[in-house]
Amino acid sequence: MALRPEPTVSFQSVQYVLRVLEAVSRHSGGVTDDQIARETGLPIAHLTPMLDMLRREGYLERLAEGGAYAIGDSLVLLGSGPAQERAAEEKVQHSLAELRDTIGAAVYFSRYIDGEVRITQYADGPLTPKVNEYVDFRFAAHASAIGKCLLTQLDPNGRRDHLSRHKITRFTSRTITSEQLLFSKLDSQPPTVPVLDLQEYAVGTVCAAVPLTAGSAVGCLALSMPVEHAHRLRAAADALNRNAAPMVLSLAL
C-alpha cells in the first residue's frame, strides 16, 4: 500500500508564527506586511499565506485604513486563567470541527503529558466516526499514528522510559513489535511528513498524525478513517499538515 504522504511546507514551525505575532504586537496602530517582512526576515511569499491563516483564525485583523495588520480577538483570549483556558479549548474545538468537515475524517488533538499519551480533544460525526479505542491509547503508542508521532518528538531516553512502562504489544499482524525497528522508523521519520498507521492499531482503520511542538510542549494533530477510504489518506494527511498552525498556537500561547 504506497500511501506515504509527500513532504509539505506547513506553518507548524511555531517560531515563525510567533515572530509574526510579536512584530504585529509592537505596533498598536497596525503594521503593513512589508514592515512585518522586514522585522521578521520572512519573505513575502512565505509571509502572505501565514498572514491569511492568522486572519482566518482570528489571531490578526486587517484594518480598513491602509490594509495594515493588528492583533485580533483570538489572540487576546488566549491568555491565562480559567476563562482564557475555556476560550482556548473552544477555539481548538472549533478548528477541529472545521478540519473534520474539510478533510472528511475524524480529527484529534493529542498531547504528551506527564509521560502519557493523552487525546485532549477530538471532533467526529456520523459520517466521520472516531477510532474504536478498544485498547487505551496510553498503552498503544508504538502502534498508533498519534503515539508514534509523539514518540518521534522525544529523545531516546524518553522513548525508552515510555516503553519500559508500556510494553510493546501486538494488536494486528502489522504492529511493530521490535523496539529496535520501532526506534529506527521513528529516527528516519522526516519532520515534514505525516506519520501513518496502516491498520497497526486496529484492523479496518488507517490514521495519520503531524507533530505540534512549542517549546517543551509536545503534541500532535491526527485523523482517522475507515480502511475503505485509504485511497484518500495521502491527500487528507497533507491537508492536515497544512492546517496544523492554529493547534500549534494553542500549545504555545
pLDDT per position as a tens digit, 40-58 = 998 888 889 889 888 888 8
pLDDT per position as a tens digit, 108-124 = 999 999 999 999 999 99
CATH number listed for the domain at residues 14-76: 1.10.10.10
Query: Which grid coordinates belong to 44?
Result: 513575502
Architecture of domain 79-252: 2-Layer Sandwich (3.30)
Report the percentage of the chain scoring pLDDT > 70: 88
Handedness of CA 190, 196, 197, 199 (dihedral sign): negative
**pLDDT for the residue 101:** 96
User: Across residues 221-228, what is the average pLDDT?
Assistant: 96
User: Across residues 177-197, what is the average pLDDT?
Assistant: 92
Given a cut of 70, whether residue 234 has pLDDT beyond it is yes
Q: Could you tell me the pLDDT band of residue 182, with boundaries at 50, 70 and 90?
A: very high
Given a cut of 50, whether residue 1 has pLDDT beyond it is no
DSSP string of 107-172, one letter each residue: EEEEEEETTEEEEEEEE-BTTBPPP--SS-GGG-TTTSHHHHHHHHTS-HHHHHHHHHHS-----S
CATH 3.30.450.40 in the chain: give the residue spans.
79-252
Tell whether pTM > 0.85.
no
**How big is the CA angle at 99 (ends 229 and 142), to the nearest 5 degrees?**
60
**pLDDT for the residue 8:** 42
pLDDT per position as a tens digit, 56-78 = 888 899 998 778 999 887 766 55
CATH 1.10.10.10 in the chain: give the residue spans.
14-76
